[in-house]
């Protein structure tokens, strides 16, 4: 008994040490990025390496936001990602419902077809998609970019949402049907609340992925009005010069909306799948 107790204690301490080291390994690079945002170019590349910046001045942040209208770009990114995430979740939930819970034919084919856009390197899609957007007059618009990103991110959302829809026991839906609810009613009122944690997870995933997309906004939205953050971040560099401190400062500010969103949504994921089922 004594020994078992000791063992458990050791394994618990081991787990804590492991977790701390592990989390540190993940955070340290980010800390290094944050420190870079406060240094000037001389301190950044000092030899020997200078760990801490000599002052905590916000000069880099101010400069990063005056050289480029970053606030505008962050807003553009938020709009684009928000629109595409909402569209993807709506379209994706519908599709995954029918793929997971109805007896339609050709499910596997549809799933594989959907994957094709995920399977091709995005470069080959650039030219045709540019041509299309140009013909539709959607170049340099946030909505146009959002639509393209819907096409890019929809397949993975459908695949994941499908697995969540599959986990719902048939009994839940059947009891609703017995009460006389129509299919759209059961879908909205019963099934969606049950898979809510899954939907939140996929929302985070989609939002971050659309936010981080680089090559499509680069080519489709080159003008200032429609530029997004990822593209703008690379534009601090000149032909042969990279002001790493400005990029770090801008990147940190630009990741704040994402972090806020993650924090807000992940609480709802933590609340748990089964809680949702009970509430539903």
Site for another protein in 152-171 (CB under 8 A): 154, 156, 158-160, 163-164, 166-167
Q: Which of 3, 102, 169, 171 binds another protein (CB under 8 A)?
A: 102
Q: By C-beta, is 55 or 163 nearer to another protein?
A: 163
Q: Give which of 29, 27, 28, 51 is closest to 39, Cα–Cα.
A: 51
Beta carbon of residue 2, minimum distance to another protein (angstroms, whole number): 19
Site mask, another protein, residues 11-30, x = CB under 8 A? --------x--xx--xx-xx
Among 121, 169, 171, 278, the residue binding another protein under the rule CB under 8 A is: 121
Instruction: Tell which positions 235-254 bind another protein, by CB under 8 A.
Output: 235-242, 244, 247-248, 251, 254
Binds another protein by CB under 8 A, chosen from 13, 71, 143, 270: 270
27 vs 58, beta carbon nearer another protein: 27
In the complex, minimum distance from the CB of residue 84 to another protein, in angstroms, rounded to a whole number? 11
Cβ-based neighbour number of residue 247 at 10 Å: 20
Distance, in Å, from the CA atom of 139 to the CA atom of 219, rounded to the nearest integer, reads 9
Q: Can you tell me which of 1, 56, 104, 278 binds another protein, judged by CB under 8 A? A: 104
Residue 66 lies near another protein (rule: CB under 8 A): no
């Amino acid at each position: 008994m004594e020994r078992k107790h000791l063992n458990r204690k050791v394994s618990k301490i081991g787990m804590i040490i492991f977790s701390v080291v592990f989390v540190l390994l993940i955070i340290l690079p980010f800390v290094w990025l944050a420190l870079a945002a406060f240094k000037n170019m001389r301190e950044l590349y000092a030899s020997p390496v200078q760990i801490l910046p000599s002052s905590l001045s916000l000069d880099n942040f101010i400069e990063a936001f005056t050289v480029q209208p970053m606030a505008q770009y962050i807003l553009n990114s938020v709009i684009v990602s928000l629109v595409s995430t909402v569209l993807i979740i709506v379209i994706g939930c519908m599709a995954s419902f029918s793929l997971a819970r109805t007896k339609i034919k050709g499910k596997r084919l549809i799933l594989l077809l959907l994957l094709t856009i995920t399977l091709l390197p995005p470069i080959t899609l650039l030219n045709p998609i540019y041509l299309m957007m140009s013909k539709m007059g959607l170049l340099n618009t946030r909505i146009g970019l959002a639509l393209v990103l819907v096409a890019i991110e929809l397949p993975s959302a459908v695949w994941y949402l499908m697995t969540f829809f599959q986990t719902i026991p048939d009994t839940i839906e059947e009891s609703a049907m017995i009460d006389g609810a129509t299919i759209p009613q059961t879908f909205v009122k019963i099934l969606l609340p049950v898979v809510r944690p899954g939907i939140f997870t996929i929302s985070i995933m989609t939002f971050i992925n659309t936010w981080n997309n680089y090559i499509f906004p680069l080519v489709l939205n080159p003008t200032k009005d429609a530029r997004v953050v990822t593209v703008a971040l690379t534009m601090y560099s000149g032909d042969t010069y990279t002001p790493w401190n400005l990029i770090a400062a801008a990147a940190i500010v630009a990741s704040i909306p994402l972090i806020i969103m993650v924090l807000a949504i992940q609480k709802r994921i933590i609340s748990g799948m089964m809680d949702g089922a009970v509430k539903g």
